[in-house]
Amino acid sequence: MNGEFSLESNPLSISFAGLTLANPTILASGILGYSAESLNRVAKGGAGAVVTKSVGIAPRAGYSNPTVVQAESGLINAMGLPNPGIEVYSEEIRFSKTVLRVPVIASVFGYSAEEYAVVAKRAVEAGADAVELNVSCPHVKQTGAEIGQSPKFLSEVVQTVKAAISKPLIVKLSPNVADITVLARAAVEAGADALTAVNTLKAMAIDAETMRPILSNVRGGLSGAAVKPVALRCVYDIHEALGDVPVVGCGGVANWRDAVEFFLAGASAVQIGTAVAENTEVFQAVTKGVETYLRRKHYGSVKEIVGLAHRK
């Protein structure tokens, strides 16, 4: 191969929904700010792709502090979708594409199907390789999970965005629902190319001394190790119900074993979020560990183990 890197011969390379990644680890949305520079730091640290922070049609300040609180085995955050608006952020996406060597997935939100579509279209025009719909933020009114918890609203948003863009469309689902497979099916039937499972679990923290909720917004979303068993069950349920639909596992991945568990449940790739805040080397460590695992178990690629936990 003359030292040339070939994705085809790389056991860690994965393709889903029209995207090809050199390894199956992806930076989750909302971690490390907006700049192309910080996305590039993660890409250089070994992420196979990056998802931007969620961006909307207009600038939004987000909530006042405190916006993050440490929980027993994770973090609870309620930032309130702060973002500079798609017009300003398009420049950052454009710049990202000149420096990053991995796919850039734009996370978008809106307050109507049309708004989601406008933001997604602008992100794609700026160079985003795919769009991830945030229909699962658990605490901002009239967007996020308020849309993603209703099969009807979710279908409308997915269909409208799908008609507006020519790039892969990924839908990030909420775990805060009775049956995630109902929403997964609605998203896929409306045109989603892949699903991310899952966003944060709705949560809160109270300070016993001040006798008040800690977050300024009172309610936030729990991420990190505490949510992994829930996220894993969601991926398993979706794979069982929808078979070959590509799923990206998200929730508490911090090491290679977590990632492998998600692949076995049915995920084609994993997103890593909370763990990045503690360890920016996490992508390389996970990828290396998965490679060693595949060799030890005599498998030739990640895709060979996707969904194997479902074998009877």
Q: Annotated catalytic sites, by residue?
A: 137
User: To the nearest whole angstrom, how small is the minimum distance from the Cβ of residue 65 to ligand SIN?
Assistant: 13
Q: Which amino acid is at 12?
A: L
Closer to ligand SIN by CB, 23 or 274: give it: 274
Task: Tell me how many residues contact ligand SIN (CB under 6 A).
Answer: 13
Q: Judged by CB under 6 A, does residue 80 bind ligand SIN? A: yes
Binder among 79, 227, 265, 270 for ligand SIN (CB under 6 A) = 79
The CB-of-140 to ligand SIN minimum distance in angstroms stands at 7
Contact pick of 40, 134, 155, 274 for ligand SIN (by CB under 6 A): 134
Q: How far is the CB of 173 from ligand SIN (least distance, A)?
A: 11
Is residue 51 within the footprint of ligand SIN (CB under 6 A)?
no
131: contact with ligand SIN by CB under 6 A: no
Q: How far is the CB of 202 from ligand SIN (least distance, A)?
A: 10
* 19, 86, 100, 137: which one binds ligand SIN (CB under 6 A): 137
Residue nearest ligand SIN, CB atom distance: 137
Stretch near ligand SIN under the rule CB under 6 A, chosen from 17-25, 71-79, 181-189, 294-302: 71-79
